[in-house]
Amino acid sequence: MLAFLQGLAYGLFVTCLPWFLIGMVEPRLALAEPHPNRLQVILRYWLLVPFIAFLIWLTSLWGGFGPSLLGWLAGLGAIAVELPLERRWRGWLARRRERRRAAREAAEAANRRAEQARQAHEKGVLTLDPDHPPQDADDLVLALADAKRQLQTAGRDDFAVQADRLYSRYRHVLDVLGERFAVEELTFQRARSLIREVSLGAVDNLTAMASQARGVSEVDGEFVRRRLSEESVHLSVAERLALKRRLELLEQTERHLRELAARNESALTALDDAAVALARVETQRPQASVAADRALNELRRFAAGAARYGRGAQ
């Protein structure tokens, strides 16, 4: 056994120089890393492998036996056998990490969509079907449906839900307005005009969001970030600048989308304020209150005359 280890150590020592020269010419031939470089070649074949061979040689010295031919041959072919095995092992680890990352991202995306749906779909929110809009839909509702379709096509379902919320608020505030005022009243016409103006502004925002999202829908942000995270030796200056510019476009677009979404939230708040204000308007006296007041007065008169009826009976 010690003779085998001595031969293995000598064989490793001898093969370090050839593998070092091969690695300096083409690092991929001498290393199993996915992105090898010459510095890694120097560390492995100038320091690591000679150090391992030196430790094996020291371990076998105390036995006093000479190196064996089998150990010598094993040392000569050790690196040639180890490299394919290491590549397979690294590939298996990379595939395992990729599967875990994909599963984690899918779970995070599902949780994010669920959270966005919970936040967006408030109580009483109606769902607007872009392919089958309501039969009584006016031009504004049709524009909302078209904007929602465009956002869904661009892959931005997180912003498409704003169309449902705007549709619900628009219908609700018009219903409240119709309960408080007659259609022919000037107040009704003025209020409806203002409601439409606010809603049309929100529709324009949704349309702009869909246009901007569609403009960057083909840019793979994950690919750009993954490429930029690689070592600079694998990217030219021009490619790195192009990737950074692509990432800046994504970030700018996302920022503009959030700004437009915030404007729509302001429009939703304005519609809520209008609905609450209209609900507080009393345009007619409730019939139940009138009947209750009349009954109370009749009861008081009856109580006042009840004593007279009693004296008359005596």
Q: Tokens 């006016």 — which residue?
A: 138
Model confidence at 272, in pLDDT bands (50, 70, 90)?
A: confident
What's the whole-number average pLDDT of the chain? Answer: 79
Mean pLDDT on 77-104: 85
Question: pLDDT value at position 313?
Answer: 46
Residue 213: is its pLDDT beyond 60? yes
Question: pLDDT value at position 311?
Answer: 47
* Percent of all residues in the chain with a pLDDT value above 90, rounded to a whole number: 2
More confident: 297 or 111: 111
Helix (H), strand (E) at residue 244: helix 237-279
Model confidence at 116, in pLDDT bands (50, 70, 90)?
A: low
For the packed helices 2-25 and 49-61, what is the interaxial angle rounded to 10 degrees? 170
For the segment 32-68, what is each residue's pLDDT rounded down to a tens digit?
Answer: 887 788 888 888 888 888 888 888 887 777 765 677 7
Residue 157: is its pLDDT beyond 60? yes
Amino acid letter for position 274: A
Q: Which of 173, 145, 154, 167 shows the shortest CA–CA distance to 273?
A: 173
More confident: 188 or 206: 206
More confident: 174 or 242: 174
Mean pLDDT on 11-20: 85
Distance CA 159, CA 147 (A): 10
Model confidence at 285, in pLDDT bands (50, 70, 90)?
A: very low
Q: What token pair was written down for 146? A: 């078209």
Other residues' Cβ atoms within 10 Å of the Cβ of residue 154? 19
Mean pLDDT on 138-161: 87
Which residues neighbour 223 within 8 Å (Cβ) at sequence distance 6 or greater? Answer: none
Domains and CATH numbers, the chain: 2-104 (no CATH), 121-284 (1.20.140)
Residue 46 burial (10 A CB sphere; 0-12, 13-18, 19+): middle
Helix (H, G, I), strand (E, B) or coil at 123: coil
For the segment 228-240, what is each residue's pLDDT rounded down to a tens digit?
Answer: 776 544 666 777 7
Distance CA 294, CA 163 (A): 49
Model confidence at 110, in pLDDT bands (50, 70, 90)?
A: confident
Mean pLDDT on 152-176: 87
User: From the CA atom positions of the chain, what is the Rg in Å?
Assistant: 40
pTM above 0.85, yes or no: no
Question: pLDDT value at position 207?
Answer: 92
Question: pLDDT value at position 233?
Answer: 47
Task: Find out whether 152 and 140 touch, Cβ atoms under 8 Å.
Answer: no
Backbone region of residue 156 per phi and psi (left: phi > 0; alpha: psi in -120 to 50; beta: other values): beta
Task: Find out whether 194 and 296 touch, Cβ atoms under 8 Å.
Answer: no
Question: pLDDT value at position 232?
Answer: 47
